Amino acid sequence: MQPARKRHALELFAGLPKRYHAMGALLSFGQDPRWRRMLVDAIAPRPGLRVADVATGTGLVALALAARGCEVVALDQSEAMLGEARARAARRPELAARLRFVRGEAEQLPFADAEFDALSFTYLLRYVDDPAATLRELARVVKPGGRIAMLEFAVPRATLPRLAWRAHTRLGLPALGRLVAPAWFEVGRFLGPNIEDFDAREPDLPGLWRGCGIEDVHELRPSFGAAVILWGTRAR
């Protein structure tokens, strides 16, 4: 049986894949696409690199990695999200040979040990009950010395940006969501408390990564700290 945290996420986003990309950009004031580009750059993609993109959602990062020449296996637990990812990929036939989509869960990946040269994941750890165990499972499928990179929402550290962030997440996100559809209102209402809860549970993400066998960890907090991008390498 799925943990309540993940079950709620699946139910919340089940009907939203077709607008997911546009709404992500809108709700983040256009920053989400920029953050994803930074995540792709953190992988240091090159032709022939075999990459797992976990929690791929609608496949935005997977497509960007494939466009940079990587061989990408994109995994998500939501068949609805994967359906939209496949539809996006179908509109890019020049990338088809470098993309494969798989349904599965990050906590129990259907891949062999050290199967990939690198791994990316996006907006994942907030939805798992045991982030450390999930990170160890993600690292398991990466070759020693291979790069692992993550994008997640964050809470700004400085006082004024944090106050502005809280006003946006508590008032702005629900209001923007309400303009689109009732389901997006629920997403807008959910995100702020969910992001803040995760930030309180895991205040030292680089330390968490190092404790899970990931070395040379780097951290970026763009957009006044509203996002966090981490990358490092699996211990040899």
Which segments of the chain have a pLDDT < 70? Answer: 1-27, 29, 177, 179-185
Dist. CA 56–CA 122, nearest whole Å: 7
Say what the pLDDT of residue 147 is: 98
Identify the helix (H) or strand (E) that includes residue 42.
Answer: helix 31-43
State how far the alpha carbon of 84 is from the alpha carbons of 57, 68, 184, in Å.
8, 21, 17
Residue 68 lies in a domain: yes
Dist. CA 65–CA 114, nearest whole Å: 19
Dist. CA 10–CA 33, nearest whole Å: 22
Residues of the domain holding 148? 4-153+204-234
Say what the pLDDT of residue 165 is: 87
- Domain of 133: which CATH number? 3.40.50.150
Count structural domains, the chain.
Answer: 1
Say what the pLDDT of residue 22 is: 57
Tokens at 120, concatenated: 């990316």
Say what the pLDDT of residue 10 is: 63
Q: What is the pLDDT of residues 32-69, one digit of tens each?
A: 889 999 999 999 999 999 999 999 999 999 999 999 99
Residue 42 lies in a domain: yes
Say what the pLDDT of residue 191 is: 82
Residue 199 lies in a domain: no
Residue 191 lies in a domain: no
Dist. CA 98–CA 16, nearest whole Å: 26
Residue 13 lies in a domain: yes
Residue 88 lies in a domain: yes
Average pLDDT, the chain: 89
Q: What's this model's pTM, rounded to 2 decimal places?
A: 0.90
Say what the pLDDT of residue 189 is: 75
Residue 137 lies in a domain: yes
Residue 172 lies in a domain: no
Positions of E strands within 130-180: 142-153
